Chains A and B, each alone.
Chain A
Amino acid sequence: MRWPFRRKDRGPKSLRRSFVTPEGVDLQLELGGAGVRAAAFMIDAVAILVVLIILTIIIGLLLVASRSSAMAILWLIGFFILRNGWFVLFEMGGRGATPGKRLLGLRVVARDGARLSGGAVLARNAMREIEVFLPLSFLAAQTAQGMADSFLVIFALSWSGIFLFFPLFNRDRLRVGDLVAGTWVVRTVSGELGADIVGAVERARWNFTDAELSLYGEFELQTLENVLRSGREEAVATVAATIRAKAGMEEPRHYRAGDDFRFLSDYYAALCARLERGMMVGRRRADKNAEVRVRQ
């Protein structure tokens, strides 16, 4: 009999999702996590408040100067556009992101890879009305009337709680708005191309035997790459010592400071070349524990 509470196999926990371009290449996008997105929203909310306060002060001064009702109309329209337009207009712009999202490296993307349409942006932001503004304004109105008893507060909080935590209950971190609009929020990262470690090894000082190189697989190679790129001396020394110990190599005499780095670079280059040769003939090795896998 099956244990009734066995958890189903979940998908991968990471936030990387395949995203195939029309050219057929999988770009492997990374989704924005719940924390970053909440932070971006807070930044936007603060920005809206600041703009609103400035707008109110300016219109207030103009009102004192002119005493016309046009100022009241201006304020009402301005408030309406600020509340409903901030997210929509920024996300409909070329960057697909509000200032808050942009600051934290996020971008709104249509899940099907198509252009982000106006309808989608409108839909995802109209839903914010019930996610955030409805419970807020409800609470504010009740407080203003002095009727905010604990029941109402609990109700409003749990209502917004359902929607606020909605992104945590699905794999793709979708807000209700994302669900209805068919959008995703992804991370936009831009990095420099790191230096070529193998290219930097102009003339190898060490030769390694097959036995010494067959200790590790791709995972260790990439860990080694990270160690070399980080350039921290203690880490480099530790890793170099570990590799020597494992391969049974003695420490060379006349060893100078900085030699560890050269030793590791040489080892990296040699290991990389060896694993790559394997790849060319369809043999890959994921990590040190894995057997060599031959692609059929």
Chain B
Amino acid sequence: MNSRSSAVLDAQPVLVNANRFRKAHAADWERLETLVKRCEKRSVRALSDDDLIAFPLLYRSALSSLSIARETSLDRALVTYLEQLSTRAYFQIYGVPTSALRQLGRFFAHSWPASVQAIWRETLVALLLTVAGAVVGYLLVANDPGWFFGLMPGEMAQGRDPTATAESLRATLYDSPQDGLATFATFLFTHNAQIAIFAFALGFAFAVPTALLILYNGLMMGAIMAVFSAKGLGFEFAGWLMIHGTTEIFAIILSGAAGIRIGTAIAFPGRESRSDAAMRAGRAGATAMAGAVVMLAIAGLLEGIGRQTVNVDGTRYAIGLAMLAGWIVYFYLPRKKA
């Protein structure tokens, strides 16, 4: 027996803070944990009214427990547990996005037009690039039809090249199209939408690839315009293009503008920090890009349905111009800040 053994018998139970603290608050933490668990499994809507009222209160008390535990307790398990519990509750209270329906409503009512307005300078640049590309493409092909084959990939032209006769070209504009047009319009929509997303994402490389993409898009438009106008079908072709083209080309220009915005924000962040500038441009640009995908879907519908049923040049122009006017009013009409 060593000398200390006698002291063993009258030793007192040890008291530390963590011990008392756990006893006092464990019930609250447990309740918060069950609420959080239910939210994580289902959603906040799975909570009853009482629970909904209690949730933020329990969260705050867990947070203050955490602060106290960090300052007064050496029980690592307790601090870790409270950290994890508070974090989970935090994400349920602050981190979760609003409901999909409300987000969608907000997107159409506010975010989309606001993001388009925010990139108006870049939109002008993209428009200029498109126009410049179209003029150059037109002039090149008008002077030397051989250029056409260099500018246009074969599958896009579909026989609409300088060697085609005026009749066959006219037929592509007015003939009731074959069975596959709806499928083709869908293909074009998904293809264009993918291009729009690319144009946005490529902006990250200091906007250069996006600008080239937009320029090339214009070049192709000018080239095919030159083919038709050489056969005296310029006016008719413009009508054929316009019925869905005002929406489609506008969409491509907008997504290009969103990409250019990202690239310039990264290259020239101005007074903001580079990552802040990239983040603001990225979020606004992505919203504009998503809007462009919506526009492309509408353009696909116009192409699939409108082009089949509307054969009169005047009506085609009217629809195309009305769409353009509609977009401009929707985007740029001043509105209250939400």
Residues of A within 8 A of B (CB): 21-23, 25, 27-29, 69, 72-73, 76-77, 79-80, 84, 92-96, 107, 109-111, 113-123, 126-130, 134, 176, 179-182, 188-194, 196-199, 201-207, 218, 221-222, 225-226, 229, 249-250, 252-253, 266, 269-270, 272-273, 275-276, 279-280
Asked whether A123 lies within 8 Å of B282 as measured between CB atoms, the reply is: yes
Chain A residues, Cβ within 8 Å of B8: 204-207
Q: Assess whether A218 is in contact with B74, with CB atoms less than 8 Å apart.
A: yes
Is A198 a contact of B19 with CB atoms below 8 Å? yes
Considering the chains assembled together, what is the distance between the CA atoms of A170 and B317 in angstroms? 53
Q: Which of A29, A69, A76 contacts B87 (CB 8 A)?
A: A29
Q: Is B193 a contact of A130 with CB atoms below 8 Å? A: no
Pick from B71, B91, B282: contact of A188, CB below 8 A: B91
Q: List residues of B whose CB falls within 8 A of some A CB.
A: 1-2, 4-5, 7-8, 11-19, 22-23, 26, 29, 37, 39-40, 43-44, 60, 63-64, 66-67, 71-78, 80-81, 83-88, 90-91, 94-98, 100, 103, 107, 111, 115, 179-180, 182-183, 186-187, 190, 193-194, 197-198, 200-202, 204-205, 262, 275-276, 278-279, 281-287, 289-290
The one of B14, B39, B183, B284 in contact with A73, judged by C-beta atoms closer than 8 angstroms, is B183
Sample 13 A-B pairs with CB under 8 A, ordered by A number: A25-B64, A72-B186, A73-B186, A96-B95, A96-B96, A111-B279, A118-B107, A121-B97, A127-B201, A130-B198, A191-B80, A206-B4, A270-B14
Q: How far is B37's CA from A191's CA once the two chains are assembled, in angstroms?
A: 12
Residues of B with C-beta under 8 A to A188: 87-88, 91
Would A191 and B81 be within 8 Å (CB), given that A25-B67, A201-B13, A206-B11 are in contact? yes
Are B26 and A119 in contact (CB-based, < 8 A)? Answer: no
> Is there contact, CB below 8 Å, between A119 and B22?
no
Q: How would you classify the secondary structure of chain B's contact residues: helix, strand, loop or mixed?
A: helix
Query: A181 touching B282 by the CB < 8 A rule?
Result: yes
CA distance A199 to B16 in the complex (A): 9
Question: How far, in angstroms, from A269 to B193 measured CA to CA in the complex?
Answer: 65
Contact B76 A179 (CB under 8 A): no
State whether B97 touches A273 (Cβ < 8 A): no
